Amino acid sequence: MLNQIKKSLILSGHKTSVALEEDFWTALDSIAKNKNTSVDSIIQKIDKYERKGSLASALRVFILNFFIEMKK
């Protein structure tokens, strides 16, 4: 995909990677700062508790829902 950035990480003890557009990585950084945690920690929690499809899709939905909730 165009303009996607692939990052490697370890989930459940296995090395994997996920590709997201730069804007989504920026949003995850912002969310992590807001929650006083790391991007890796957020991704691990999403993978363990909220993932129903691909990890990239789960991350995009998480980011969308986070900002929707902030607007309320």
Residue 53, domain extent: 37-72
Between 72 and 45, the higher pLDDT residue? 45
Task: Indicate the pLDDT class of residue 1, thresholds 50, 70 and 90.
Answer: low
pLDDT per position as a tens digit, 11-56: 989 999 999 999 999 999 999 999 999 999 999 999 999 888 899 9
Count of domains in the chain?
1
Q: Which residues contact 56 (CB under 8 A, 6 or more apart)?
A: 18, 19, 20
Report pLDDT for 72. Answer: 83
Element (H, E) at 9: strand 4-11
Q: Which residues contact 55 (CB under 8 A, 6 or more apart)?
A: 11, 16, 18, 43, 46, 47
Q: Is residue 66 domain-resident?
A: yes
Q: Is residue 9 domain-resident?
A: no
